[in-house]
């Protein structure tokens, strides 16, 4: 066996229940293991135990059990000794990149091992070749796209010649083509003899590379351990793709909430336009998925919709008013926009203060704010959390829902959600989406920016596909997602 | 400028700023300011990079001089203006021509320990990230109806302005702190700080660097003599 875990237990200091309890599992050489489980099930903690961050960095908790790595107990190894055997790719590649230039990033771990420069250069070139990023070596790391960053991070770990690779949600920031490419690379690495452990919520995509081994955690304990076929039987397959109906379906005379008329826009520093003659109209009762590869211009369209950017050409209309004559605050009364990362918005000491921020900015009356906050908390399934709680003490998934509730409390007629399910397990994501679509007082229309085609298929009534700033497909969601030619045009196949 | 060893450029920069702080005589300071402008021109920084910085820099120099004019003598105001011009021109010439990938090895080469030298490298890496996070937070809060009003007339208003900035500053600070933990973990997982490290890039002094260092140190000594020996 490559990595053997025996009765592993870990409890963080000052937390009531252990994060990992009695985990025994074995990850073999040359195999891909899918490590699945809901948010907070202990996956990341287990990874930290294996790569040595627990107990070397997280020293305050209680660790017991045994981890053997290539026949050697990791208990007596230093973090750098473990790092030479086990490479780790963390969830957000942005946080893992420490150098200003790609070449230096690939060299970082090797420099720390004090290897000779000639060997460092040879290894970083080989790792770059292996990941197909030789042409990126001279690039500044902050200029890389999400997919490029992911490849650089993996190449930097591979340059250290690890025998095992731990990947913590490696697909989280990738569009479907980049995710497929990354998964193919993980499969290839396993075929070359590396032990690959993938922690991922996007289970169906990982199952596509036929992992030899699947482990599922729940509340820190193993609830399934077997091969992929047994796992699929145990899991019972994906829930049927029945779209969840919106409470108020679109009718012929539904009000137009957001309309783009031949809108073009380019950033001053960009080589090409991020929006090119974009035209569409979103009406009450619609759930629209805005899909497209990384860099297609999805976020730019959203910023144009809420007035953060002004079109160079064309016109954006919000509830039949020209958006160029309105401030973002005025538009926010009608169109709410939830950014992808909750950390971009949370600032207050209590949930009450956090959630009342938007309504107060809009000048809502105190009694109205109170009701709006409680309704928003219901919609995102956080009603059981006291309003005096600090948002910073919540889990990532809960913070994400607080950020959504913060915008819902402003009672916009339409809501734009940027990657609403990234970092959420399917159960939580499904419950939240169902509430947003079907509850009384929910927004009249949703625009969902997403890479998650399962989400688009399950909840959207319509899909707009962008590629290089241009609308390349616009129609019923099922039809667009099933249209192979359109998906290829949009770079999603 | 770009062809010079970065360590020699850092030494030159330190000598120039120290000389500007040492000298008091406006004639000597004027010469130093003129020389710093020649250095900035010789650095051949593209105007596109200077354009966004120049107005703010000019305002800063005017404010410094204006405050000195109000509270001190006109000669002292002139001294401060010339010092500010010298420091700004030299800083722009050095910073805007510096290859940030060489920041760590430069300071390691100047004798700083690995950890401190790499900390400077990390700073260069994360300044653009911090700026992007700040822009994102401004956009996200605007989408929640937030409007920044910075106009103020008195101290009470200034406190209000400070409070208005909380929704912008707290998310960026909290995120930076939390991200720092992840980044420290990422560095630990690649064996940082456990032993003396190799630096991929190699810096080698050439004769021209030696000349620059000698002239810089000589000029600084000369300025010291002018200030303390002749009272300039």
| Mean pLDDT in consecutive groups of 10 residues from the start of chain A, 493 residues | 91 86 94 90 92 88 92 87 90 86 94 95 93 89 83 92 92 81 91 94 89 94 94 74 59 85 87 88 94 87 94 94 92 93 90 95 93 92 89 84 94 93 78 82 90 88 92 93 86 77
A493 touches chain B (CB under 8 A): no
List, as own/partner pairs, every contact residues B126-133 make where C-beta atoms lie below 8 angstroms and the sequence separation is at least 24, other chains included.
B128/A142, B129/A94, B129/A142, B130/B172, B130/B176, B133/A344, B133/B171, B133/B172, B133/B175, B133/B176
Distance between CA atoms of residues B21 and B23, nearest Å = 6
B144 touches chain A (CB under 8 A): yes
Please name the residue of chain B whose CA is at the shortest distance from the CA of residue A405. B144
**To probe the interface with A, which of B171, B190, B194, B201 has the most A CB atoms within 10 Å?**
B190
CA proximity to A199, closest of A21, A427, A423: A423
pTM (2 decimals)?
0.80
Cβ contact, residue pair B145, A332, below 8 Å: yes
Name every residue whose Cβ is closer than 8 Å to that of residue B29 and which is 6 or more positions away in sequence. B20, B23, B78, B79, B82, B83, B86
SS3 content of chain B, % helix, strand, coil (to 5): 75, 0, 25
Structure tokens at B106: 């430069």
- CA geometry: angle at A141 spanning B195 and A34, to 5°? 80
The nearest CA of chain B is from the CA of A188 a distance in Å of 23
- The end-to-end CA distance of chain A, in Å, is 37
pLDDT for res A282: 95
Structure tokens at A341: 């990362």
B164 touches chain A (CB under 8 A): no
Cβ contact, residue pair A79, B202, below 8 Å: no
Mean pLDDT for the stretch of residues B197-213: 93
CA proximity to A479, closest of A458, A455, A463, A459: A463
pLDDT for res A22: 93
Which residues from chain B sit within 8 angstroms of residue A113, using beta carbons? 191
pLDDT for res B91: 94
Please name the residue of chain A whose CA is at the shortest distance from the CA of residue B127. A142
Which residues from chain A sit within 8 angstroms of residue B103, using beta carbons? 100
CB contact at 8 A, B16 and B32: yes
pLDDT for res B1: 78
| Radius of gyration of chain A measured on its C-alpha atoms | 24
pLDDT for res A173: 73
CA proximity to A64, closest of A56, A55, A72: A55
Distance between CA atoms of residues B40 and B94, nearest Å = 8
pLDDT for res A250: 66
- CA geometry: angle at A218 spanning A216 and A220, to 5°? 105
**β-pairing verdict for A321-322 and A313-318:** antiparallel
The nearest CA of chain B is from the CA of A113 a distance in Å of 6
| Residue B167 CB neighbour total at 10 angstroms | 22
pLDDT for res B17: 94
From the list B137, B186, B192, the residue facing A344 with the nearest CB is: B137
The nearest CA of chain B is from the CA of A355 a distance in Å of 10
Name every residue whose Cβ is closer than 8 Å to that of residue A468 and which is 6 or more positions away in sequence. A272, A276, A296, A297
CB contact at 8 A, B64 and B80: yes
Name the region of A231 (left: φ>0; alpha: ψ -120 to 50; beta: rest): alpha
Cβ contact, residue pair B139, A56, below 8 Å: no
Confidence of residue B154 (pLDDT cuts 50, 70, 90): low
Which residues from chain A sit within 8 angstroms of residue B197, using beta carbons? 111-112, 114
pLDDT for res A175: 80
Cβ contact, residue pair A345, B141, below 8 Å: yes
From the list B183, B200, B202, the residue facing A98 with the nearest CB is: B183
A119 touches chain B (CB under 8 A): no
Q: CA separation (Å) from A264 to A34, A90, A135, A260, A467?
A: 43, 37, 31, 10, 14
CB contact at 8 A, A53 and B185: yes
Q: Is the pLDDT of residue B214 over 80?
A: yes
Edge-to-edge strands of the sheet including A20-27? A20-27, A3-11, A62-69, A72-73
pLDDT for res A155: 92
B128 touches chain A (CB under 8 A): yes
Confidence of residue B142 (pLDDT cuts 50, 70, 90): very high
The nearest CA of chain B is from the CA of A210 a distance in Å of 28
A and B: number of Cβ contacts within 8 A: 164
pLDDT for res B166: 92
From the list B101, B189, B200, the residue facing A88 with the nearest CB is: B189
What's A118's DSSP letter? Answer: H
Please name the residue of chain B whose CA is at the shortest distance from the CA of residue A307. B143
Cβ contact, residue pair B144, A109, below 8 Å: no
Mean pLDDT for the stretch of residues B77-105: 91
The nearest CA of chain B is from the CA of A471 a distance in Å of 24
Number of helical H runs and strand E runs in chain B: 9, 0
A66 touches chain B (CB under 8 A): no
Which residues from chain B sit within 8 angstroms of residue A339, using beta carbons? 136, 139-140, 143
Distance between CA atoms of residues B8 and A3, nearest Å = 50
Verify cis geometry, omega within 30 degrees of 0, for the bond prior to A55: yes
- The end-to-end CA distance of chain B, in Å, is 30
Cβ contact, residue pair A361, B147, below 8 Å: yes
Structure tokens at A170: 């490696």
pLDDT for res B178: 84
Cβ contact, residue pair A160, B190, below 8 Å: yes
Which residues from chain A sit within 8 angstroms of residue B187, using beta carbons? 98, 108
Which residues from chain B sit within 8 angstroms of residue A164, using beta carbons? none
**To probe the interface with B, which of A47, A56, A80 has the most B CB atoms within 10 Å?**
A80
A122 touches chain B (CB under 8 A): no
Distance between CA atoms of residues A158 and A123, nearest Å = 9
Which residues from chain B sit within 8 angstroms of residue A97, using beta carbons? 125
CB contact at 8 A, A393 and A355: no
B162 touches chain A (CB under 8 A): no
Name every residue whose Cβ is closer than 8 Å to that of residue B62 and which is 6 or more positions away in sequence. none
Please name the residue of chain B whose CA is at the shortest distance from the CA of residue A87. B189
Structure tokens at A298: 């999805």
């Amino acid at each position: 066996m490559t990595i053997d875990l025996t009765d592993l237990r870990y409890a963080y200091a000052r937390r009531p229940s252990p994060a990992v309890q009695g985990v025994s599992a074995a990850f073999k050489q040359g195999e891909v293991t899918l490590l699945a489980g809901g948010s907070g099930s202990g996956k990341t903690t287990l990874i930290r135990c294996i790569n040595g961050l627990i107990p070397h960095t997280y020293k305050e908790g209680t660790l017991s059990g045994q981890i053997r790595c290539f026949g050697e107990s990791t208990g007596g190894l230093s973090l750098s000794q473990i790092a030479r055997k086990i490479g780790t790719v963390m969830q957000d590649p942005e946080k893992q990149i420490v150098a200003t230039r790609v070449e230096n990033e690939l060299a970082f771990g090797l420099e720390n091992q004090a290897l000779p420069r000639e060997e460092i250069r040879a290894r970083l070139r080989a790792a770059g070749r292996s990941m197909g990023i030789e042409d990126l070596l001279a690039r500044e790391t902050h200029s890389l796209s999400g997919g490029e960053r992911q490849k650089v991070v993996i190449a930097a770990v591979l340059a250290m010649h690890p025998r095992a690779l731990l990947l913590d949600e490696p697909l989280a920031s990738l569009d479907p083509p980049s995710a497929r490419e990354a998964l193919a690379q993980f499969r290839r690495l396993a075929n070359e003899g590396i032990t690959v452990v993938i922690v991922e919520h996007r289970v169906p995509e990982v199952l596509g590379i036929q992992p030899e081994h699947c482990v599922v955690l729940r509340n820190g304990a193993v609830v399934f351990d077997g091969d992929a076929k047994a796992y699929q039987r145990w899991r019972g397959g994906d829930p049927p793709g029945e779209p969840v109906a919106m409470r108020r379906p679109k009718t012929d005379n539904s009000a137009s909430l957001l309309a783009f008329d031949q809108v073009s826009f380019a950033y001053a520093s960009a080589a090409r336009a991020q929006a090119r003659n974009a035209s569409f109209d979103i009406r009450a009762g619609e759930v629209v998925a805005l899909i497209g590869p990384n860099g297609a211009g999805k976020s730019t369209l959203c910023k144009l919709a809420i007035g953060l950017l002004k079109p160079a050409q064309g016109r954006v209309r919000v509830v039949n008013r020209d958006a160029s004559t309105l401030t973002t605050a005025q538009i926010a009364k009608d169109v709410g926009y939830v950014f992808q990362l909750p950390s971009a918005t949370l600032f207050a000491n209590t949930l009450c203060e956090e959630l009342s921020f938007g309504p107060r900015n809009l000048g809502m009356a105190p009694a109205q704010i109170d009701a709006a906050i409680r309704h928003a908390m219901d919609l995102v399934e956080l009603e059981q959390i006291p309003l005096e709680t600090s948002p910073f003490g919540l889990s990532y998934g809960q913070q994400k829902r607080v950020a959504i509730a913060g915008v819902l409390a402003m009672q916009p007629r339409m809501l734009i959600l940027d990657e609403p399910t990234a970092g959420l397990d399917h159960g939580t994501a499904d419950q939240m989406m169902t509430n947003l679509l079907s509850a009384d007082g929910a927004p009249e229309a949703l625009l969902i920016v997403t890479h998650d085609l399962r989400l688009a298929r399950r909840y959207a009534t319509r899909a707009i596909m962008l590629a290089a700033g241009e609308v390349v497909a616009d129609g019923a969601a099922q039809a667009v997602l099933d249209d192979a030619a359109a998906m290829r045009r949009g770079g999603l196949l | 400028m770009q062809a010079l060893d970065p360590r020699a450029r850092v030494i030159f920069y330190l000598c120039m700023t120290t000389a500007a702080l040492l000298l008091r005589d406006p004639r000597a300071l004027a010469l130093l300011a003129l020389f710093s402008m020649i250095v900035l021109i010789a650095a051949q920084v593209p105007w596109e990079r200077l354009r966004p910085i120049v107005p703010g820099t000019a305002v800063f120099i005017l404010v410094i001089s204006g405050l000195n004019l109000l509270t001190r003598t006109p000669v002292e105001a002139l001294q401060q203006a010339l010092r500010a011009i010298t420091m700004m021109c030299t800083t722009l010439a050095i910073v805007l021509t510096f290859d940030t990938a060489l920041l760590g090895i430069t300071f390691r080469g100047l004798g700083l320990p690995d950890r401190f030298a790499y900390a400077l490298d990390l700073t260069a890496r994360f300044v653009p990230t911090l700026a992007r996070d700040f822009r994102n937070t401004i956009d996200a809060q605007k989408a929640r109806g937030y409007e920044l009003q910075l106009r103020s007339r008195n101290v009470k208003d200034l406190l209000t302005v400070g409070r208005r900035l909380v929704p912008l500053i707290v998310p960026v600070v909290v995120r930076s702190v939390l991200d720092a933990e992840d980044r420290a973990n990422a560095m630990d997982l690649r064996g940082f700080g456990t032993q003396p490290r190799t630096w991929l890039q190699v810096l080698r002094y050439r004769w021209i660097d030696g000349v620059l260092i000698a002239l810089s140190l000589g000029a600084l000594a000369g300025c010291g003599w002018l200030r303390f020996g002749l009272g300039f």
